[in-house]
Amino acid sequence: MRGHRILRALLIFVLASAGLTAGAVTVSAPAAHADECYTWSRTLSSGTSGSDVAELQIRVAGWAGYGVNMAVDGSFGAQTQTAVRSFQSAYGLGADGVAGPATYSKLYELQDPDCTPLHFSYAEASENCGRGLNGNGSVSLATARENLKRVMWRAEALRHRMGDHPMRVTSGFRDKACDAAVGGSGSGQHTYGTALDLVPADGGTTLCGIAQSARYAGMGGIFGPGYPGHSDHTHVDIRAGRTWSASQCGI
Ligand SMILES: [Zn+2]
């Protein structure tokens, strides 16, 4: 996927150079990433609705505010507006709460061709005892895949909120057998693809830092240091409601 980006950038550069040499073609720079996953075709603002709003909501849900587990319902309401405004502000865009070309351009930049966010991948999030993403969890393969995408976008927001310090996913989707094998209930959030276990991948943050920031990143479930079995990772998930516990982190 990186290779595609580099090739595309190179191609754009070559085309731009050719245009400049010929003196007949103007190429606006820098060119936004073309989007291989999803492309928005209209500006979205408060009151709009549709599947394009839902696609937007999936990608900005980690910016709706403290304790807000935003619904992905295809209806652009107050939470979506807040999330878009916070996303824009966090990435240095004009924060007007309206999703237009600049916002889409940033989202395309953050998006891989398979619709996952830049710093998280299906491969990393579905080790699953060596079995990868499959339909043997609590939901179908397609639903697990969609759920994983949604929690990864919130993790991307979490990562950016923490100053872009990298995190590693130690466990994401687990099928029922894998969940039971690693000491889970066999039917928990991981079997739905809605959960990620995260650890810091550099010295820039801590397990408690992840847990504390996760409260602002649309995570309905947060379990970290102080919660039994969570001394070596922070678990986040997108369950409905709010179930947080990390007593060593003041949560
Ligand atoms: Zn977990």
**pLDDT tens, position by position, 192-209:** 999 999 999 999 999 999
Q: 190 alpha carbon to ligand 1 midpoint, in Å?
A: 6
Domain ranges of the chain: 1-31, 35-115, 124-249
pTM of the entire structure?
A: 0.87
pLDDT of residue 22: 39
Question: What spacing in Å lies between the alpha carbon of 195 and ligand 1's midpoint?
Answer: 6
d(CA 171, CA 235): 9
**For residue 135, what are its two tokens?**
């339909």
Cα(236) to ligand 1 centroid in Å equals 7
pLDDT digits (tens, 9 = 90+) for 14-46: 334 333 333 444 444 444 455 788 999 999 999
Which of 99, 110, 108 is CA-nearest to residue 54? 99
Nearest Cα residue to 124 out of 167, 157, 162, 163: 167
pLDDT confidence of residue 36: 82
First to last CA, the chain: 37
Rounded Cα distance between 166 and 189, Å, is: 23
CATH architecture, domain defined by 124-249: 2-Layer Sandwich (3.30)
CB 203 within 8 A of CB 222: no
List, for the chain, all residue ranges whose pLDDT scores fall below the cut of 50: 1-32
> Residue 149 and residue 100: Cα distance in Å, rounded?
22
Overall fold of domain 35-115: Muramoyl-pentapeptide Carboxypeptidase; domain 1 (1.10.101)
> Which pLDDT belongs to residue 6?
44
33, 160, 230, 235: which is the annotated catalytic residue?
Answer: 230
> Alpha-carbon torsion 103, 113, 64, 49, what sign?
positive
Quote the ligand 1 centre to 21 CA distance (angstroms).
55
Cα separation of 172 and 128, whole Å?
A: 7
CA distances from 153 to 62, 105, 127, 129 (A): 7, 16, 18, 23
Active-site residue 233, yes or no?
Answer: no
